[in-house]
């Protein structure tokens, strides 16, 4: 028996939770939009970072596209949970890359992991579907 009600229109309840969600989504979207745009624009620092990673510049472009799309998706309540979860996983990988490949501080990636993870958690009802629900 399913005791956890889930509906496609599930929204965070409570004024404080909605305000927190909105604030985190705007902050996360701004950060990912800026980072993604820098990658897509070929900012020299980003080119250097991806040279050091060693996979190729195509990876910089793909990462930039994912970050921009993820930023936009964070702003849409219907896609915030999926975007938050995906971007959070992406930032876990970025933290590992900072720690084991390129060096530098992993703190910005860790902060974005927490922010996007919190968005995914707040909107988790959209990620969980009861059996038989579309």
Q: Could you read off the pLDDT of 99-132 as tens digits, one per residue?
A: 999 988 999 999 999 999 999 999 998 887 645 5
53 within domain boundaries = yes
66 within domain boundaries = yes
Domain ranges, residue 34:
15-126
pTM here is 0.84
81 within domain boundaries = yes
Confidence of residue 85 (pLDDT cuts 50, 70, 90): very high
Number of domains in the chain: 1
61 within domain boundaries = yes
Instruction: Please provide the average confidence, as pLDDT, over all residues in the chain.
Output: 89
63 within domain boundaries = yes
77 within domain boundaries = yes
Q: Could you read off the pLDDT of 10-39 as tens digits, one per residue?
A: 566 788 989 999 999 999 999 999 999 999
9 within domain boundaries = no
pLDDT recorded at residue 44: 96
Token pair for 1: 């028996």
132 within domain boundaries = no
In 3D, which of 112, 124, 22, 118 has the Cα closest to residue 81?
Answer: 124
């Amino acid at each position: 028996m399913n005791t956890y009600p889930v509906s496609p229109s599930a929204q965070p309840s409570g004024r404080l939770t909605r305000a927190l969600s909105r604030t985190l989504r705007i902050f996360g979207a701004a950060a990912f939009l800026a980072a993604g745009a820098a990658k897509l624009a070929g900012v020299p620092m980003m080119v250097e970072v991806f040279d050091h990673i060693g996979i190729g510049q195509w990876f910089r472009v793909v990462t930039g596209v994912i970050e921009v799309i993820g930023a936009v998706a964070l702003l849409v309540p219907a896609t915030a949970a999926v975007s938050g979860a995906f971007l959070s996983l992406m930032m876990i990988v970025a933290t590992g890359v900072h720690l084991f490949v390129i060096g530098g501080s992993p703190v910005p990636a860790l902060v974005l992991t927490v922010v996007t993870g919190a968005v995914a958690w707040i909107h988790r009802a959209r990620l969980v579907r009861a059996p038989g629900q579309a």
